[in-house]
Amino acid sequence: MAKQRSIPVRCLVFLSMMMPFAGFESRAGAEELLAGNDQQRIQGTWLCIATLNDGKQVTKYVGVRAVMQGNRLTWFFPQPDGKMQTTEALFQIDVSQNPKHFDWYLKQKSDQIHKRLYILEDDVLIWSTNLGTEDRPESFSTGRWQFVMKRLVQRN
In this prediction, residue 4 carries a pLDDT of 41
pLDDT at 27 over 80: no
Query: Which CATH number goes with the domain that contains 75?
Result: 2.40.128.280
Structural domain span for residue 106: 9-22+42-154
Mean pLDDT of 101-121: 94
In this prediction, residue 14 carries a pLDDT of 59
Q: Where does the pLDDT of residue 10 fall: very low under 50, low under 70, confident under 90, or very high at 90 and above?
A: low
CB atoms inside a 10 Å sphere around CB 38: 18
- Find residue 46's DSSP bridge partners: 66, 151
Please check whether residue 55 lies inside any domain of the structure: yes
Please check whether residue 110 lies inside any domain of the structure: yes
Please check whether residue 129 lies inside any domain of the structure: yes
State the pTM of this model.
0.76
| pLDDT tens sequence across 123-145 | 999 999 999 889 999 999 899 99
CB atoms inside a 10 Å sphere around CB 61: 16
> If DSSP states are collapsed to H, E and C, what string results for the chain?
CCCCCCCCHHHHHHHHHHHHHHCCCCCCCCCCCCCCCHHHHCCEEEEEEEEEECCEEECCCCCCEEEEECCEEEEEEECCCCCEEEEEEEEEEECCCCCEEEEEEECCCCCCCEEEEEEEECCEEEEEECCCCCCCCCCHHHCCEEEEEEEEEECC
Mean pLDDT of 93-109: 94
Mean pLDDT of 1-29: 48
Please check whether residue 50 lies inside any domain of the structure: yes
Total of domains in the chain? 1
pLDDT at 12 over 80: no
Please check whether residue 47 lies inside any domain of the structure: yes
Please check whether residue 17 lies inside any domain of the structure: yes
